[in-house]
Amino acid sequence: MLAACSTGGTQASGGPAAKVSPTPTVPNVPPGTVLFRADWSHGLSAWGNTKGWQIVNGMPMSDLSTDNALTVPYLPVVHNYVIECRFQVVRVPHSGGYFIIKAPRTADKDGYTAGILGLFAPGARKSPYSNPEATIYLDPLDHMQSHMAPIDYDPFNNWHTFRVQIKGPAGDLFIDGADSSTAVSAQGEWLSNGPLQIISSGAIVRISSVTITAL
C-alpha cells in the first residue's frame, strides 16, 4: 500500500495553521517480491476497455484490429520493478503490426514503450535484411540520453517472454533472457510506473502469463 505522511503546520500569531500536503513514501519491498500475477479465471473485466481481446482456452487473445490494449489491473508501488509477459504471435496477415508494453508519461516521470514493431506477414520480403524490430524508447523521445537502438527480431509463431526492467531512469527490454534494447532518461530520476498497458495491433497475439516483480 502507498503510505503517506504529513507535517503539522506551525501556527503564526493570530492566523490559522498552515496546511502541508501529504508526501507519498515508497514502501521498502524486498527485491524479487512478486507484486502481481495475472489471473484470467474470471475473464477480462478488471483489465479496462478490452476491445479486441477475448479469453480463448483460458488465455487472452487479440483480434486483428488496431491498438487493442489491456490495462494491467495493478499499479506498481515501487520505483524499480520488472514486468514479464509470455506471448505468442499467432498470425500476422498484413505487415506493419506490433506488440508492445507501454507506460504513459506523467507530470514528473518519462513514459516508455517496449516491444516488437513492424511485424511482417508471411511470404517474400523486399530485402533479406527486412525484419521486425525489438526496442524500448521513452516518451518524450528527446529526453533519451541516446537515440533509439532497435535490433532485428522476428518472433515467428514461437512462444517468447518479454522482460521489461525499470530501474531508476533506465529501462531495459529483454526477450527470452537476451538484452535487446536500453533507454535511459537524461531528465528524470525515475520512469513511469503506469498504468501499464499491453497492446496488440494488426496481429493475433495470445498471452499465457503476466507478472510484476519488485527489483
CB 134 within 8 A of CB 151: yes
Separation CA 72–CA 69 (nearest Å): 9
Each residue of 119-128: pLDDT tens digit?
998 876 666 6
Round the average pLDDT of the chain to a whole number and report it.
88
Return the beta strands (E) in 72-191 as ranges. Answer: 81-91, 97-103, 111-119, 133-139, 151-152, 159-167, 170-175, 178-184
User: Is residue 180 very low, low, confident or very high in pLDDT (cuts 50, 70, 90)?
Assistant: confident
- Sequence letter at residue 24: P
Percentage of the chain modeled with pLDDT above 90? 75
Q: How many CB atoms lie within 10 A of CB 96?
A: 15
Q: What is the DSSP letter of 92?
A: -
Each residue of 144-154: pLDDT tens digit?
998 888 888 88
Location of C-alpha cell 501529504? 22
CB 191 within 8 A of CB 171: yes
Q: How many CB atoms lie within 10 A of CB 215?
A: 17
Q: What is the DSSP letter of 61?
A: E
User: Is residue 23 very low, low, confident or very high in pLDDT (cuts 50, 70, 90)?
Assistant: very low
Separation CA 2–CA 25 (nearest Å): 7
Each residue of 55-105: pLDDT tens digit?
999 999 999 999 999 999 999 999 999 999 999 999 999 999 999 999 999
Output the pLDDT for position 128: 62
Which three cell numbers, joined as nine digits, stand for 133? 524490430
CATH number for the domain running over 30-214: 2.60.120.560
Measured CA distances, 132 to 50, 125, 149, 163, 202 (Å) = 25, 11, 13, 18, 13
Location of C-alpha cell 499467432? 90
User: Is residue 1 very low, low, confident or very high in pLDDT (cuts 50, 70, 90)?
Assistant: very low
Each residue of 157-174: pLDDT tens digit?
999 999 999 999 999 999
Output the pLDDT for position 147: 82
**Cα angle, residue 89 at apex, residues 198 and 181 outer, rounded to 5°:** 60
User: Is residue 109 very low, low, confident or very high in pLDDT (cuts 50, 70, 90)?
Assistant: very high
Location of C-alpha cell 476497455? 49
Q: Is the pLDDT of residue 18 over 70?
A: no
Which three cell numbers, joined as nine digits, stand for 83? 514486468
Output the pLDDT for position 9: 39
Output the pLDDT for position 36: 98
The full set of domain ranges for the chain reads 30-214
